[in-house]
Amino acid sequence: MPRTCPDCNVLMSQRSFFGVLLDTCEHCAGIFFDEGEISRIREQAGDRALDELDNMIQPEPGHVDPTTHATRHCPACASEMRRFRYLYSSPVFLDTCDACGGVWVENGELQQMSEYIQSAKQGRPTTTHELSGDVQAKIEALTALDRARGLRARIAASTIAYHRD
């Protein structure tokens, strides 16, 4: 039975990749992996297979990725999916279904996963400049807020000290 894309609500196609049958959206280039399929592909074809798969499936011309993250429902069982950070410390967030173990991967995320795996193997830690622009902007805003709070605290402390003398 064909599955429906959790982002576009269109029927997905099935493609075989290294012997694994994947559900792919021809509109947004998202891919649904049933439980264990990402690991099977990595075991059979290596980590670079993720890049190859990401390049093989491209969104329709003119497709614009959503700017906000909406709650997704699993293409396999319709349960609400939960966002999680890939390999706990990577900058990549995926959606998983706790009911059936499936994983939804948006266009471009396979390449990000592959890059993270390669940098981890080479012993290079992920730094904030490798994070998405949105996450980097939030980090910079929090840093600026922290500096402003520190400045206000120093001004308040000096005012109190001045009045005590």
For residue range 39-73, list pLDDT tens digits in order. Answer: 999 898 887 898 899 999 988 887 776 656 778 99
Give tens-digit pLDDT for 71-118: 899 999 999 999 999 888 888 999 999 999 999 999 999 999 988 888
- CA-wise closest residue to 85 among 112, 63, 60, 61: 112
Task: For residue range 8-27, list pLDDT tens digits in order.
Answer: 999 999 999 999 999 999 99
Q: How far apart are CA 49 and CA 63, in angstroms?
A: 24
Q: Is the dihedral of CA 30, 73, 42, 23 positive or negative?
A: negative
Give pLDDT, residue 158: 61
